[in-house]
Structure 1
Amino acid sequence: MELLDRALEIIRTYPLCDSCLGRLFAQMGYGLENFERGRAIKTLLHMKLVDEYRKGRDVLNDLLALAKIHKPTSRFLTSLGINVDEAACYICGGLLKDVEKYAKDVLPLLEGVEFRTFEVGTTVPKDVVERESEVVKRFLITSGESVKHEINRRIGKELLKHLTGKRVDKLRPNIVVRVDLITGKASVERNPLLIEGVYLKLSRRVSQAKKFGDVKSTLWDKLVYIREVFGGKEHVIHVSGREDSDARMLGTGRPLVVEVKQPIKYDGAIPPFRDGDIIFTPIGFTNREEVRRLKEKAKTDIKLYRALVLSERPLTVEELNKIGELSGKTIIQYTPRRIKRISPRKKRVRMVYELAWRQISPRVFELYVRCQGGLYVKEFIHGDGGRTTPSVSEILNTHLEVLELDVLSVE
């Protein structure tokens, strides 16, 4: 069916404004707004019907239907002594006439926010959406777009007229403009800012996020400055794995992402941080997908640890060499007693790839463990009362205590 025939069939049943009629054919005619497309369709229908009327064809009812929503057709019928009252649009009821006006309510909300990208989201009356769906289903429309999509786009285009250097980004916008067409209220959501980096932990009294026991500070505390740089209300950290508070994180460092919530700046230099406890090196801005990848990768990362171990009894070199039996072994661990309250029955299976050791004194040795991420290394060494098996303590048949633990690399 030709476009004009389909449009006329729709108009016979439903009075539609220029925007709502044009939106049903949104995929036809590039570079046109829906109201321009709808107006053009009505103009062509007007020309066709007037021509047929003058040739004596029975198109008066079609002219009457068009005249309800098209002033030139109404004027033509008036010249014939036929007056037709204007009808409200069946779908939007006039809502789309000036949706751009909402942009002026948004602009004051953006003052003081330094952003690059935005997206517009709207709440549209439910009955408008339902009526549009009714028309689309009845006439099997496959060439249109939704009323909500049109409203979002039109408000966005109006905002761009006043926002120099900004652009619309539907995937990862800095801010989301919300307009409720039911209440007429506008609001702005400032999306989190994500900064990727790596950190070294040089102190054995610093934890990642919580203070407890002998902990004097946290990584979270040290990175408050990033929140302040971007004017955020709060911040959280997402880390690729976790080391104990009394373990140092050395080597090339551990990856993490700092999430700054509701920032007022979305761009700018990210200064590094260094004190006696922490070294943080920022890499740059990142996205939510990277946070998910970071956490998933922590489960499969290969990590190298150094431990200083004290034995309850003196050990010979021959006894220490038994440690080699654990290279390439699968280790089964139940939640350590020190964190048993969190998930007491949880079972964890991890690989130990390589082990190396060096005797320092009859009762003290240095142990290097290259293993799969997520292995409880302290428990792998001392056995945790049988909750980890096999363990170094089990192989050496002695009670072991971990005096120091360092993470040397995260591969």
Structure 2
Amino acid sequence: MASVEILDKALEVIREYPLCDSCLGRLFAQLGHGVENAERGIAIKTILHMTLVNDYRKGKDVVRDLTALAKVHKPTRRFLASVGIKVEEESCYICGGLLTEVEKYADAALPLLSEVDFNSFAVGTTIPREVLDRESQVVKKFLITTGESIKHEINRRIGKELLRHLTGKRVDKLRPNVVVRIDLVTGKASVERNPVLIGGVYLKLSRRVSQAKKFGDVKTTLTEKLAYVKDVFGGGEHVVHVSGREDSDARMLGTGRQLVVEVKQPVKYRGSVPPLKDDDVIFIPSTFTTREEVRRLKEKAKTDVKLYRALVLSERELSAEELNKLGELSGKTVTQLTPRRIKRLSPRKKRVRMVYELAWRLVSPHVFELYVRCQGGLYVKEFIHGDGGRTKPSVSEILNTYLEVLELDVLAVE
């Protein structure tokens, strides 16, 4: 857009609507980077003033335009007063004066921010509906395509004002530690504390530890074991997100399973999480992570390849030759209805998973060791004992005997 076009468009708007420096300059915010909207608006008004005064002195009929400009431009009011034309100042049609002291809203947030030890922040505001409607009206009427929204300007200006008082902090619009909320309708401020997310891996050494809930002979949970993580950040509560899950009586061995500990409402965002090692659980923290990583973990659990070891009891005696029949199951697709032990959740839901490879070792006539390499999400116990025909094919079906899983371990998550 050429400079003449900018001035013509600005004058066209001002003839109909009195606009403050910021609201006028904001209509052309995409033109001239590194300039504040108010500075841009002052520059436009100043050039219009010079042009119109010059035209007036040449005898051109520009009193109407000068009068429109004078409503929002003090030098123009002074000039018209000098030639006997008095014009009263008018408030801005769009913001109604809201932008003249917008930085003051930062003052309300500073005491709240002092309660949190954070690194980054973003600003969000609630703007009076009528202000947004008036801005939209002007933009649509004059086909403005070079502007920015008043909400964007207010957020930026409050953010800059906060930065003046917050040493060592930065604005992060994508993943801020905290979000400063300013309601310009009520004048109130609040601070939202986003959760801290810590990635890592865990190993479960006990057969009496569940992931989240206590039941039966479960003595503790992974969630309880990792409660100390929230204390590092002064959080109110925590949630553990895991890439898949194993039964409470199954150990998680090998290189462990990935997880993310989410600490809600932290009071600080800096801290070092020490590893945990006891008789039940080993947790090795890695780095701060993101909500996207939590979603990735959940999705990854569906496609992970897992290696299990099971110790299996047979109702009848088995021979090594009979166990060789299990080779038929390698590379097979297994169809499972929701297991009876959890069918209250979705009794007829069907799940289809791949069994990639099996290996076995006869321990005694009634006991054998089975290694299952399979797609994530396979109900391994049910794949072994058949779950009363709800899982097909199954190890029990192939061996034609009742089977009970004595032990189950996850050896690897690939």
For 1:26 and 1:333, how far apart are their aligned partners in 2? Answer: 60
Structure 2: tracts of 5 or more residues without a match: none
For 1:296 and 1:155, how far apart are their aligned partners in 2? Answer: 38
Superposition deviation, residue 318 in structure 1: 1.1
For 1:266 and 1:307, how far apart are their aligned partners in 2? Answer: 42
Q: 1:156 aligns with which of 159, 179, 189?
A: 159
AA of the residue aligned to 1:272: P
Q: Does 1:62 align with 2:68?
A: no
For 1:204 and 1:35, how far apart are their aligned partners in 2? Answer: 67
Could you say which residue in structure 2 is the equivalent of 1:21? 24
Show CA shifts across 1:95-143 (max 9, x none). 0001000111100001131111100000000000000000000011010
For 2:253 and 2:32, how far apart are their aligned partners in 1? Answer: 61
Q: Is the 8 A contact 1:42 1:66 kept in 2?
A: yes
Superposition deviation, residue 267 in structure 1: 1.7
Q: 1:172 aligns with which of 169, 172, 175?
A: 175
Q: 1:139 aligns with which of 135, 138, 142?
A: 142
Superposition deviation, residue 265 in structure 1: 1.2
Q: 1:260 aligns with which of 240, 259, 263?
A: 263
Give secondary structure in 2 for the equivalent of 1:114: coil
AA of the residue aligned to 1:260: V
AA of the residue aligned to 1:161: R
Superposition deviation, residue 226 in structure 1: 0.3
Q: Does 1:40 align with 2:56?
A: no
For 1:141 and 1:90, how far apart are their aligned partners in 2? Answer: 16
Q: Does 1:376 align with 2:385?
A: no
Q: Does 1:223 align with 2:226?
A: yes
AA of the residue aligned to 1:381: I
Could you say which residue in structure 2 is the equivalent of 1:350? 353
Q: Is the 8 A contact 1:208 1:219 kept in 2?
A: yes
For 1:110 and 1:19, how far apart are their aligned partners in 2? Answer: 28
For 2:59 and 2:244, how far apart are their aligned partners in 1? Answer: 82
Could you say which residue in structure 1 is the equivalent of 2:324? 321
Give secondary structure in 1 for the equivalent of 2:303: coil
- Give the structure-2-normalised TM-score: 0.99
Superposition deviation, residue 268 in structure 1: 1.8
Moved over 4 A (4+): none
Give secondary structure in 1 for the equivalent of 2:78: helix
Show CA shifts across 1:301-354 (max 9, x none). 000000000000000111110011000000000000000101111100000000
Show the 5 A alignment for 1:84-233. Answer: 84-233=87-236
Q: 1:312 aligns with which of 312, 315, 334?
A: 315
For 1:96 and 1:293, how far apart are their aligned partners in 2? Answer: 42
Q: Is the 8 A contact 1:115 1:266 kept in 2?
A: yes
Q: 2:305 aligns with which of 278, 302, 327?
A: 302
Q: Does 1:241 align with 2:244?
A: yes
AA of the residue aligned to 2:23: C
For 1:159 and 1:111, how far apart are their aligned partners in 2? Answer: 12
AA of the residue aligned to 1:157: K
Could you say which residue in structure 1 is the equivalent of 2:283? 280
RMSD, aligned CA: 0.6
- Give the structure-1-normalised TM-score: 0.99
For 1:397 and 1:30, how far apart are their aligned partners in 2? Answer: 77
For 1:317 and 1:294, how far apart are their aligned partners in 2? Answer: 39
AA of the residue aligned to 1:71: K
Q: Does 1:75 align with 2:78?
A: yes
Give secondary structure in 2 for the equivalent of 1:330: strand
AA of the residue aligned to 1:113: V
AA of the residue aligned to 1:101: K
Give secondary structure in 2 for the equivalent of 1:339: coil
Counting matched residue pairs gives 411
Give secondary structure in 2 for the equivalent of 1:299: helix
Identity of aligned residues (%): 78
Q: Does 1:410 align with 2:413?
A: yes
Show CA shifts across 1:209-257 (max 9, x none). 0000000000000000000100011100110000000000000000000
Structure 1: tracts of 5 or more residues without a match: none
Give secondary structure in 2 for the equivalent of 1:16: coil
Could you say which residue in structure 1 is the equivalent of 2:10? 7
Superposition deviation, residue 31 in structure 1: 1.1
For 2:323 and 2:34, how far apart are their aligned partners in 1? Answer: 77
Q: Is the 8 A contact 1:23 1:38 kept in 2?
A: yes
AA of the residue aligned to 2:130: D
Superposition deviation, residue 291 in structure 1: 0.5
